[in-house]
Amino acid sequence: MKAKKERGGTPIRGLLPLVALLVIWELVGDPASPYFPPPSTWIDGIQPLIDADKLLPAIGQTSLTFVLGLAIATALGAIVGTLVGASRSVDRALSPSLEFLRALPAASLVPVAALVLGYTTQMKLVVVVLPATWPILLTCRTARRTLSPVLLDTPRTLGLSTWHRTTKILTPALTPAVLLGVRVAAPLALIITLLVEIVTRVNGLGAALGAAQAGFLSAQVYGLLTIAGILGFAVNWIVTRAETSVSRRMRGTV
């Protein structure tokens, strides 16, 4: 968090209003309130989940779906994006279909996927992969399209094989674009993971959140919301750092 502040230039003192809000909430809030239980009750709220050994597995299931979904989306987006970006005619052939698929909101896919594939972890993955693929596919397509022709001619004139052309030139040249896409896709994938879990209650943090809300356990809802927030913050921080450091190396701008 400190590094983020240094780079983004957002002063830390800006956290004051949030801290003040939480303190006032704590002081004024009624511990018995069904709507706004003060922060100190949140830990008690999630204590039953910890005692029943449910919290860590839930975080694990959410993280697993998220990581796998993002990994599949990255591979898919990078490959399709590169192919579409390499050829104008492939682009023209596929883009209307891709545009239509992109317009389908992830939320509307959840009930459909649940009906067709059942309430399973595979279903969760499918729903996460589809929307998370777009940002990666789009940045990769643009990057491939704007790649300098000289960069593509260089390995040819030096007699590199197709395999080496792909691994030594194309892959490193497109890596920054893929990571830029991942940076946008990662928070999205986390949101969609939680969304599927909230709607279908299959497993994971979102399912716990939905169950807590259904049982009117308001302190537990706020506690789980905080955990989801920490997860979101961690994901953002990791992908942003990875993207900037790798791009710097690959693009040669320090």
Q: Which of 110, 125, 137, 182 binds other proteins (CB under 8 A)?
A: 110
Q: Which of 160, 241, 242, 244 binds other proteins (CB under 8 A)?
A: 160
CB of 173 to other proteins, least distance (A): 8
CB of 76 to other proteins, least distance (A): 17
Q: Which of 111, 166, 238, 245 binds other proteins (CB under 8 A)?
A: 111
Taking CB under 8 A as the rule, does residue 187 contact other proteins? yes
Nearest-angstrom CA–CA distance, 192 and 116: 18
Nearest-angstrom CA–CA distance, 106 and 191: 10
Q: What is the CA radius of gyration of the chain?
A: 22
Taking CB under 8 A as the rule, does residue 158 contact other proteins? yes
Site for other proteins in 6-45 (CB under 8 A): 8, 10-18, 34-35
Nearest-angstrom CA–CA distance, 250 and 171: 11
Q: Is 129 exposed, middle or buried (0-12, 13-18, 19+ CB in 10 A)?
A: buried
CB of 96 to other proteins, least distance (A): 4
Site for other proteins in 213-242 (CB under 8 A): 213, 216, 218, 221-222, 224-225, 228-229, 231-233, 236
Instruction: Indicate the DSSP class of residue 54.
Output: -
Query: Which residues, other chains included, contact 174 with Cβ-Cβ below 8 Å and sequence gap of 6+?
Result: 78, 82, 140, 143, 144, 147
Taking CB under 8 A as the rule, does residue 154 contact other proteins? yes
Nearest-angstrom CA–CA distance, 83 and 137: 10
| Ranges assigned E (strand) in the chain | none
Pattern 50-89, other proteins, x by CB under 8 A: ---------------------------------------x
Q: Which of 104, 121, 238, 245 binds other proteins (CB under 8 A)?
A: 104
